[in-house]
Amino acid sequence: MIKITQIVLIAAITIGGIAGCKQSSKVEKPQEETAVAVDTITYPQEKHLKNMRQLTFGGDNAEAYFSFNSEMIVFQRRDNKEVPCDQIYYGKIPTDNSRFEYKLLSTGKGRTTCSYFLPGNDKVIFASTHAKVDSCIADPDKSKGYLWGVYPSYEIYVADLNGKILKQLTDNDFYDAEAVVSPKGDRILFTSDRSGDLELWTMNLEGGDLKQITRDLGYDGGAFFSPEGDRIVFRASRPKTPEDVATYKSLLKDGFVKPTAMELFTCKADGSDLRQITQLGGANWAPFFHPSGNKIIFSSNHTTKRVPFNLYMINLDGTGLEQITFDTVFDSFPMFSYDGKKLIFASNRNTGGNRDTNLFIADWVE
């Protein structure tokens, strides 16, 4: 999942944390566009999305993921005032016109990222720095370009829906975050640099039986299981030139990655049968499987390498690219409900021209 937090790509978007999970999204429009406010909740071309509803209003809200019964979501939020760093919240999705209510699950200290429900719908996992760094970790220095922080103070925790931490699943001096759970309910998939590079790993629900899934140089993250739990999709950077490799390694040593060039990959749940899905250029990320298991929905800026970011869908063999959303700034972090009827995502639409990122949910139409 990259992290949710803010994404700023080439003076356009800021996502703090990492994405796929990473980061609640905060978008900064190019200066010449800031005077033009386009408020709309849906666009005419968005034929797959019906009965769209805005769940949050204000702040940076992103990386919303459904409970196994598709009745609740857990997500990251910050508002730069009372909640200056991403924290984890959950709420029940209204079935009527009532207001979406949510409550804090994380400690309110440090920085958090990438939450996900566990089987049973009464517990969640998320990554947090609170045990080692309980203050708000500042975003990376923008003078170095757009970077994500992969801080070694992140550890993965289990909490109940009252916010009580029940278990710490990782405990080391490496980056452990971006955790999701298999639909089978038996394995946790996450990103870690414990091998010396940012790779995908799995573990059981108790934090044991660790297995490394990927091994190629570059950042591997924002991973999700297929509906049957037999495959994985993820975003990855693949530095090739000596200069790019040196830059990647230098940034990683300092706890950062540059996410401006990422493509999508898929493999079996054990790491075998690795395939590259996209070769679009730009930042292709936040992938999630279509309910059929045969397609991937994801966020991309490949048409401009800047803004806008929109949602696209593509077949597993890389064919059939289709644009799903048509926002003018930023759409990302899509997830289908487990019953395949709903799509939730984060967007900068309908903000009156400010930089808020909110959650939107819609009926999915084939």
The tens digit of pLDDT for each residue in 287-314 reads 999 999 999 999 999 999 999 999 999 9
Write the pLDDT tens digit of every residue in 144-202: 788 999 999 999 999 999 999 999 999 999 999 999 999 999 999 999 999 999 999 99
Q: What is the mean pLDDT of residues 119-141?
A: 94
Q: Is the pLDDT of residue 94 over 70?
A: yes
Q: Structure tokens of 146?
A: 């757009």
pTM: predicted TM-score of the whole model, two decimal places: 0.92
Q: Is the pLDDT of residue 211 over 90?
A: yes
The parent domain of residue 220 ranges over 2-364
Question: Residue 265 maps to which CATH number?
Answer: 2.120.10.30
> What is d(CA 310, CA 271) in angstroms, rounded to the nearest whole number?
28
The tally of domains found in the chain comes to 1
